[in-house]
Chain A
Amino acid sequence: MTRLSNFDKALLNQLQGEIPICSHPFAEMASRLGTDEATVLARLRELKAAGFLRRIGTFFDSNRLGYQGTLVALKVEPSAICAVAEAVNRYPGATHNYEREGAYNLWFTLLTPNAEYESNILAEIRSLSGVVDMLRLKANKKYKINVQFKLQ
Chain B
Amino acid sequence: MDNLSQLDKKIIRALQEDFPLCEEPYKILAERVGISEEEFLQRIKALVDEKKIRKMGAVLRHREIGFNANALCAWQVPPDKLDETAQIMTTHAAVSHCYDRTPAPNWNYNLYTMIHAKTRDECEKIIGELSSLTGSTDYKILYTKREWKKTGMKYFCE
A interface residues with partner B (beta carbon < 8 Å): 4, 12, 15-27, 37, 41, 44-45, 48, 51-62, 64-67, 71, 73, 85-86, 88-89, 92-102, 104-108, 111, 113, 117, 135-151
Q: How far is the CA of A130 from the CA of B15 in the complex (A)?
A: 38
Given A16-B60, A25-B26, A71 contacting B65 (CB threshold 8 A)? no
Q: Within B79-94, which residues are at the interface with A (CB < 8 Å)?
A: 82, 86-87, 89-90, 93
Given A48-B21, A58-B53, A53 contacting B100 (CB threshold 8 A)? no
B interface residues with partner A (beta carbon < 8 Å): 1, 4, 12, 15-19, 21-27, 37, 41, 44-45, 48, 50-62, 64-65, 67, 72, 82, 86-87, 89-90, 93, 95-104, 107, 112, 116, 140, 142-158
Closest to A117 in B: B158
List, in ascending order, chain B residues with CB within 8 A of A52's CB: 60-61, 64-65
Closest to B103 in A: A137
List, in ascending order, chain A residues with CB within 8 A of B60's CB: 12, 16, 52-54, 149
Q: How far is the CA of A137 from the CA of B45 in the complex (A)?
A: 33
Interface SS, A side = mixed
Which of A71, A89, A138, A141 is in CB contact (< 8 Å) with B149?
Answer: A89
Q: How far is the CA of A102 from the CA of B90 in the complex (A)?
A: 25
List, in ascending order, chain A residues with CB within 8 A of B90's CB: 143-144
List, in ascending order, chain B residues with CB within 8 A of A22's CB: 26, 41
Q: Give the interface centre of B22, B72, B112, B146 by most chain A CB atoms within 10 Å.
A: B146
Closest to B67 in A: A149
Which of B58, B93, B101, B157 is in CB contact (< 8 Å) with A150?
Answer: B93
Besides A21-B48, A106-B148, 20 more A-B contacts (Cβ < 8 Å) are A16-B58, A16-B59, A17-B55, A19-B58, A22-B26, A41-B22, A54-B61, A56-B19, A57-B15, A57-B18, A58-B55, A58-B56, A65-B4, A85-B149, A93-B153, A95-B149, A97-B148, A100-B143, A140-B100, A144-B96
